């Protein structure tokens, strides 16, 4: 769907669109097959301002706002959802540090993320025993010799094997949400051990690893935000992150729909193009209508965010609806391709595999529903 865009938003969208079509889409199938991380593409994205779309220009960002970010994510995800997730987490870390970091942290880490020098950012919140229940995490950070020592295990860390900047959550106080703090850890830090790559169903060109912290020594200035503020930082970052995943879901849905329109117009059955059958048209019409709704939910959340208003509920609604739609749309795309949908000569099986995680990461659909209901009931007084 077409929104009325500002000049800046149109520029970011067009830049991302051209880059996605010319540079990202062509190798997507091969990267998926071989599990090749898009390092070179991320470097080029940094040059285009796509690793800090909503980050102040003072730290190398494009300072183009949350809507421009959503527009750019949709374009990149339409071409390759794996590349989009690495972009999303890098933007999320850059935004988080640019918002809550000290001036020195911003100068040191945000510029590394936006310039591509860090390759990517990573967000290390989840643990083997704490995913949805994020406040139950057990990694500990103890004060020692004016600095901190991290010990614990993290799980499902996107780009965790190559990120130059990793935001890590650890317990610095009592149990529960109030005892958590966030830290900035540099990739390759002594005591940071990178585990084996997860052999995932989808997003196979994005790397996902467990991380282990063993007596990992950090300087005193590694703390991001105040001590005990970590949980709120994580929730705020995830609110923004969910707009990113909603955008990624819209991108995958667009790709699934476009591939299906192409295929059903060409493929003939019973003497006419498959697209001439009403049952097929109804499926296409439903996906297109729901895609427009998902995009509008995403733009609404982004618009609230950039105008400084609360957007927690709207981000969860966009993520919930968009991620479930991407799964329905990719599933229908496979169905309408028949047997060809089930082989990797056509891209729709990849879209289905890539969509599957979207209802799980950055908060499952069930967590989104909890957040939406909590905000609804709170607003009702």
Binding footprint of ligand COS on the chain (CB under 6 A): 125-126, 131-132, 134-135, 177, 231-232, 235-236, 238-239, 312, 361-363, 367, 370-371
The HSE-up count of residue 230 (CA atoms within 13 Å, CB side) is 32
Give dist(CA 192, CA 152) in Å, integer.
10
Residue found under tokens 């421009």: 68
Please say which residue, 114 or 126, places its beta carbon nearer to ligand COS.
Answer: 126
Q: Is 26 helix (H, G, I), strand (E, B) or coil?
A: coil
Minimum Å gap between C-beta 100 and ligand COS is 12
Give dist(CA 206, CA 112) in Å, integer.
20
Q: Encode burial over 199-224: b for 16+ CB neighbours within 10 A, e otherwise.
A: ebebbbbbbbbbbbbeebebeeebbb
* Element housing 272 (H / E): strand 272-273
Please say which residue, 236 or 293, places its beta carbon nearer to ligand COS.
Answer: 236
* Element housing 214 (H / E): strand 208-218
The question of whether 63 is a catalytic residue gets the answer no
Contact 94, 58 (CB under 8 A): no
Residue found under tokens 């891209």: 347
Give dist(CA 142, CA 375) in Å, integer.
35
* Element housing 305 (H / E): helix 278-306
Please say which residue, 239 or 324, places its beta carbon nearer to ligand COS.
Answer: 239
Please say which residue, 105 or 358, places its beta carbon nearer to ligand COS.
Answer: 358
Q: Encode burial over 88-102: b for 16+ CB neighbours within 10 A, e otherwise.
A: bbbbbbbbbbbbbbe
Closest to 323 (Cα-Cα) out of 351, 289, 285, 283: 351
Which one of 30, 349, 362, 366 is the catalytic residue? 362
Give dist(CA 107, CA 110) in Å, integer.
6
Catalytic residue ranges: 362
């Amino acid at each position: 769907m077409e929104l009325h865009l500002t000049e800046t938003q149109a520029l970011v969208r067009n830049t991302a669109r051209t880059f996605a079509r010319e540079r990202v889409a062509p190798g997507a199938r091969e990267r998926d097959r071989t599990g090749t991380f898009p390092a070179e593409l991320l470097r080029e994205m940094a040059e285009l301002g796509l690793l800090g779309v909503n980050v102040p220009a003072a730290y190398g960002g494009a300072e183009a706002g949350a809507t421009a970010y959503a527009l750019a994510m949709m374009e990149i995800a339409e071409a390759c959802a794996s590349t989009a997730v690495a972009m999303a987490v890098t933007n999320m870390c850059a935004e988080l540090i640019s918002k809550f970091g000290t001036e020195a942290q911003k100068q040191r880490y945000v510029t590394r993320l936006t310039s591509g020098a860090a390759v990517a950012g990573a967000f290390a919140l989840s643990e083997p025993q704490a995913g949805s229940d994020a406040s139950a995490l057990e990694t500990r950070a103890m004060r020692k010799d004016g600095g901190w020592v991290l010990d614990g295990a993290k799980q499902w860390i996107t780009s965790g094997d190559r990120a130059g900047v990793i935001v890590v959550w650890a317990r610095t106080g009592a149990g529960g949400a109030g005892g958590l703090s966030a830290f900035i850890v540099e990739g390759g830090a002594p005591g940071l051990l990178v585990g084996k790559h997860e052999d995932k169903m989808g997003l196979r060109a994005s790397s996902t690893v467990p991380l282990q912290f063993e007596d990992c020594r950090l300087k005193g200035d590694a703390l991001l935000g105040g001590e005990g503020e970590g949980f709120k930082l994580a929730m705020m970052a995830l609110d923004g992150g969910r707009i990113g995943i909603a955008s990624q879901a819209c991108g995958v849905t667009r790709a699934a729909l476009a591939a299906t329109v192409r295929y059903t117009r060409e493929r003939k059955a019973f003497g006419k193009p498959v697209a001439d059958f009403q049952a097929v048209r109804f499926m296409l019409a439903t996906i297109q209508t729901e895609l427009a709704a998902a995009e509008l939910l995403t733009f609404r959340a982004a618009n609230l965010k950039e105008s400084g208003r609360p957007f927690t509920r709207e981000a969860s609604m966009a993520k919930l609806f968009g991620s479930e739609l991407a799964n329905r749309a990719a599933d229908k795309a496979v169905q309408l391709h028949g047997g060809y949908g089930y082989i990797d000569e056509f891209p729709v099986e990849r879209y289905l595999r890539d969509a599957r995680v979207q209802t799980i990461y950055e908060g499952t659909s069930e967590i989104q529903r909890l957040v939406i209901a909590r905000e609804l009931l709170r607003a009702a007084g």
